[in-house]
Amino acid sequence: MDIFAKSLEFTAAKEAMKTGLYPYFIPMTESEGTEAVFHNHRLIMCGSNNYLGLTTDPRVRQAAIEAIQRFGTSCTGSRFLNGTLELHEQLERELAEWVGKPAALVFSTGMQTNLGTISALVGRGDVIILDKDDHASIVDGARLAWGETKRYKHNDMKDLERILKNVPKESGALVVVDGLYSMGGDLAPLPELVPLCRKYGARLMVDDAHATGVLGGGRGTAAHFNLTSEVDLIMSTFSKSFASLGGFIAGDEDVIHYIKHFARSLIFSASIPAANAAAALASLKIMREEPERVQRLTQIADRMRAGLRGLGFDIGKTVTPIIPILIGDDTRTLLAWKSLFDNGVFVNPILSPAVPQGQQLLRTSYMATHTDEQLERVLEIFGRVGKLLGLIQ
């Protein structure tokens, strides 16, 4: 059998393109953060992870420009060999301090952070335990690891304890959760997770990709719950609140030192360019010095959750700026996405198998830099589209 046969049989995307309901890989012409242009059509951006609105901040841009002028456009090597800059190490020190851990390690992407960290720590005879709603990068990190993978029902602590009880005493155990779940906008219940992990001798890693800059004054989920010292590893990315590209893992010095020498995705990947490191450093400085940005984001999230619920939309259990519009059908979800797009609002349609059948949704997310006028406009358009498509009364 020709290994390329599957590519000829994959027709779903092309069929969607013919109907005008293909929502992916749409090229952006320009972006001002809260607004973007697609095919000469200006939309209010409600589908970005630019939570603090820093991608267009002049200070972040200038930091990246100055780093390029000093170091050029690429490090042309891995962190392990010639690709470590003083900027990388400065960023690691400041990130560790920000999230409240002794040490941190910068990777080239958030995906690589999870792939490298998990596969380095979880070996033969070990067990890794995942929430069923964990991000794909966590799942793939578990696949790369030599240990056994177990999964429990989303945020179900009884199901987690059932698994923990059955981990052999001679096995190491690592529980990995999203601090803030990227589709539902809900949180991992760390006040319940921490004592369970301690009871059964498991280590706890929290992926704060969507929580850094959003929760705990910007320091993440553990800080939000005042449990920083109780969480063993904190991971996050630069592609969201840090307005850059890359990722990091933070924890005790000995553990980070071990990961640095055994994470294949770190050792065999080129390091992030100086511009990315400098942009992340500049963003971190703004987070420290302007706490009102996180406060503004919280206010906007509260307003939009109340507004969308008030219109009659089902937004699930979200408590954050990630607000899903639960629809439950692929076609209706695509129709809603297209109607919102045509009326000036960009959101992300999430279809099966990315979510289970019956849980299809529109993922909306908001920024600290959205204006009150933009938010009112978004709610007005949602109300009009929702009624037109029968999503609300």
Residues 76 and 155 occupy one common structural domain = yes
Catalytic residues, by residue number, are 182, 210, 240
Whether the pTM exceeds 0.85: the reply is yes
Residue 172 lies in a domain: yes
Residue predicted with more confidence, 352 or 147: 147
Least confidently predicted of 22-31, 212-221, 350-359, 370-379: 350-359
Mean pLDDT calculated for residue range 212-218: 98
Residue 198 lies in a domain: yes
Domain boundary among 266, 289, 312: 289
Q: What is the pLDDT of residues 314-340, one digit of tens each?
A: 999 999 999 999 999 999 999 999 999
Residues 90 and 215 occupy one common structural domain = yes
Residues 252 and 379 occupy one common structural domain = no
Residue 154 lies in a domain: yes
Residues 153 and 296 occupy one common structural domain = no
Q: What is the pLDDT of residues 171-199, one digit of tens each?
A: 999 999 999 999 999 999 999 999 999 99
Residue 171 lies in a domain: yes
The CATH number linked to 47 is: 3.90.1150.10
Residue 393 lies in a domain: no
Is the pLDDT at 352 greater than 90, yes or no?
no
Residues 300 and 374 occupy one common structural domain = yes
The CATH number linked to 138 is: 3.40.640.10
Mean pLDDT calculated for residue range 198-220: 98
Domain limits at 379?
5-56+291-388
Mean pLDDT calculated for residue range 5-22: 92
Residue 45 lies in a domain: yes
pLDDT at 354: 82
Is the pLDDT at 353 greater than 90, yes or no?
no
Domain count, the chain: 2
Residues 138 and 267 occupy one common structural domain = yes
Domain boundary among 261, 289, 317: 289
Residue 217 lies in a domain: yes
Q: What is the pLDDT of residues 223-243, one digit of tens each?
A: 999 999 999 999 999 999 999
Domain boundary among 259, 289, 319: 289
Mean pLDDT over each residue of the chain, to the nearest integer: 97
- Kindly report the CA angle at 257 between 254 and 261, in degrees rounded to 5? 140
pLDDT at 185: 97
Residues 46 and 62 occupy one common structural domain = no
pLDDT at 356: 86
Residues 317 and 237 occupy one common structural domain = no
Quote the percentage of the chain above a pLDDT of 70. 100
Residues 188 and 110 occupy one common structural domain = yes
Residues 336 and 267 occupy one common structural domain = no
pLDDT at 365: 98
Residues 275 and 319 occupy one common structural domain = no
pLDDT at 355: 86
pLDDT at 286: 98
Residues 232 and 124 occupy one common structural domain = yes
pLDDT at 284: 98
